[in-house]
């Protein structure tokens, strides 16, 4: 390219890439066809006159995020770099909660109803919240231990409501009860019933995922050894909000749900946006199982889990994106 061509190409590139003008507008300004503008812009790229750089914060892995979104048919997938010092057995790095808090700031709109299920990653997310439009916040599950409610999901609901300036509807009850009759009686109590009344109004939900092993599943840790063996014999591989799934994403152990204070799976499926926060190589298979259930629309995870999920060759996920788009698109 001669000096005149270089100057013209630079001017056209400036109009297109920096000023946002269309090729037709540029063509009219320079008195050429829009096809010539297209050729000049293409040549400017080939000759390194224009460099396009896509930059995201270093802790986010854009390539894995996009691949994971496409592989599992998700609306949003955000993959965070696993901490360099994370052990093979580590699960749910705390930085997942920070990224999930920023994602909720994008997804929640004024007037929405935000549902929060119990989970360490959900609690980390709530603690990291610094912006949230005015919305109602409702608890979707009971607590792991009613005696620690102020340090768990109840506090997460209060924190989110404080940040948003909206109403809070916590649930002061254990997640798992000894029998279905006790659980049914608790569901009828005024405060808990009021929270349950909001379940059908939830527009964005935030949930955690556990694998069927000690220390990585709340439900597993609350059951007796005999009960654990029973559900393991049914193929339990993952748990989300006290719902159990086998490796292919099929729900199992529905009798357990009758003993739990939790949002029903059918109600979860009707929520337009369900964001799961879970990571670590140890949880990867469980995350894949829950994604195949079709109950989750978006995921915040880390590179350790993402690498496993992208290599999985099992059955594809059920279509979660048949739900109405919360943006109406």
- Which of 85-94, 116-125, 137-146, 229-238 has the largest mean confidence? 229-238
pTM of the predicted protein model: 0.78
Share above pLDDT 70 across residues of the chain, in percent, rounded to a whole number: 87
- pLDDT higher than 90, residue 168: yes
Domain co-membership, 28 together with 108: no
Q: 256 and 168 share a domain? A: yes
In a domain, 99, yes or no: yes
User: What would the mean pLDDT of 120-134 be, rounded to a whole number?
Assistant: 90
What is the per-residue pLDDT across 75-96, written as a single tens digit (0 to 9) for each?
A: 999 999 887 665 556 566 778 8
Q: How far apart are CA 79 and CA 58, in angstroms?
A: 11
CA pair distance 329, 128, nearest whole angstrom: 30
The CA-based angle 146-150-154, given to 5 degrees, is 80
- Residue 51, CB half-sphere, CA atoms under 13 Å: how many? 3
Instruction: Report whether 186 contacts 192 (CB < 8 A).
Output: yes
pLDDT tens digits along 11-63? 899 899 888 999 999 999 989 999 999 999 999 888 888 877 666 555 788 88
Phi-psi region of 294 (alpha: psi -120 to 50; beta: other; left: phi over 0): left
Is 100 among the domain residues? yes
- Report the number of distinct structural domains present in the chain: 2
> What tens digit of pLDDT does each residue of 202-212 get?
999 999 999 99
Q: Which range of residues forms the domain containing residue 38? A: 3-47
Say whether both 33 and 96 belong to one domain: no
18 and 140, same domain (yes or no): no
151 contacts 143 by C-beta, under 8 angstroms = no
At residue 8 the predicted structure's pLDDT band, cuts being 50, 70 and 90, is confident
Asked whether residue 123 falls in the same domain as residue 13, the answer is no
Structural tokens at position 97: 């909660």
Q: Is the pLDDT of residue 147 over 50?
A: no
Share of the chain above pLDDT 90, in %: 57
Rounded-to-integer distance, Cα 278 and Cα 122, Å? 9
Q: Do the bridges between strand 298-302 and strand 76-80 make them parallel or antiparallel, or are there none, so unpaired?
A: parallel
Total H helices, total E strands in the chain: 15, 11
Assess whether 40 and 66 both reside in one domain. no
Q: What is the DSSP letter of 18?
A: I
- Domain of residue 33, CATH code: 1.10.10
Distances (CA, A) of 171 to 116, 140, 177, 202: 11, 8, 14, 15
| Residue 284 within any structural domain of the chain | yes
For residues 15 and 83, state if they share a domain. no
254 and 120 share a domain?
Answer: yes
Q: What is the pLDDT of residues 92-122, one digit of tens each?
A: 677 888 899 999 999 999 999 999 998 888 8
Residues 113 and 36 in one domain: no
Q: Are residues 11 and 120 in the same domain?
A: no
Q: Check residues 199 and 88 and name the one with the higher pLDDT.
A: 199
Domain match, 12 and 89 both: no
Residue 13 in any domain: the answer is yes
Query: Token digits for 322?
Result: 């048949």
| Banded pLDDT at 217 (limits 50, 70, 90) | confident
**Which is it for the CA torsion 162, 163, 165, 168, positive or negative?**
negative
Residue 148 has pLDDT above 50, yes or no: no
Go through the chain and tell me how many residues it has. Answer: 329
Q: Do 199 and 273 belong together in one domain?
A: yes
> 227 lies in a domain?
yes
Residue 322 covered by a domain = no
Residue 318: name the closest of 290, 298, 299 by CA: 290
* Domain at 295, CATH number: 3.40.50.1360
Within a domain: residue 326? no
Whether 325 is in a domain gets the answer: no
């Amino acid at each position: 390219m001669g000096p005149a061509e270089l100057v013209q190409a630079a001017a056209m590139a400036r109009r297109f890439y920096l000023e946002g003008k269309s090729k037709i507008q540029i063509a009219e300004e320079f008195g050429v066809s829009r096809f010539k503008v297209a050729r000049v812009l293409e040549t400017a790229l080939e000759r390194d006159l224009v460099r396009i750089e896509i930059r995201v914060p270093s802790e986010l892995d854009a390539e894995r995020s996009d691949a994971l979104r496409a592989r599992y048919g998700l609306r949003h997938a955000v993959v965070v770099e696993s901490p360099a010092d994370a052990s093979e057995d580590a699960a749910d790095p705390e930085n997942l909660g920070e990224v999930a808090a920023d994602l909720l700031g994008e997804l929640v709109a004024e007037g929405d109803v935000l549902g929060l299920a119990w989970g360490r990653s959900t609690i980390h997310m709530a603690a990291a919240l610094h912006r949230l439009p005015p919305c109602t916040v409702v608890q979707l599950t009971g607590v792991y231990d009613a005696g620690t409610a102020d340090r768990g999901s109840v506090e997460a609901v209060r924190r989110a409501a404080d940040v948003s300036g909206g109403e809070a509807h916590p649930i002061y009850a254990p997640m798992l009860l000894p029998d279905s009759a006790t659980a049914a009686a608790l569901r009828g109590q005024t405060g808990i019933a009021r929270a349950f009344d909001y379940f059908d109004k939830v527009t964005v939900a935030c949930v955690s995922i556990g694998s069927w092993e000690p220390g990585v599943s709340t439900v597993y840790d609350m059951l007796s050894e005999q009960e654990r063996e029973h559900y393991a014999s049914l193929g339990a591989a993952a748990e989300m909000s006290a719902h159990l799934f086998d490796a292919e994403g099929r729900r199992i152990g529905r009798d357990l749900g009758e003993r739990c204070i939790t949002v029903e799976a059918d109600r979860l499926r009707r929520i337009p946006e369900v964001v799961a926060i879970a990571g670590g190589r140890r949880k990867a298979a469980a995350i894949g199982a829950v994604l195949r259930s079709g109950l989750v629309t978006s995921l915040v995870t880390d590179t350790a889990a993402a690498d496993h999920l992208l290599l999985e060759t099992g059955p594809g996920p059920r279509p979660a994106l048949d739900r109405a788009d919360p943006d109406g698109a």
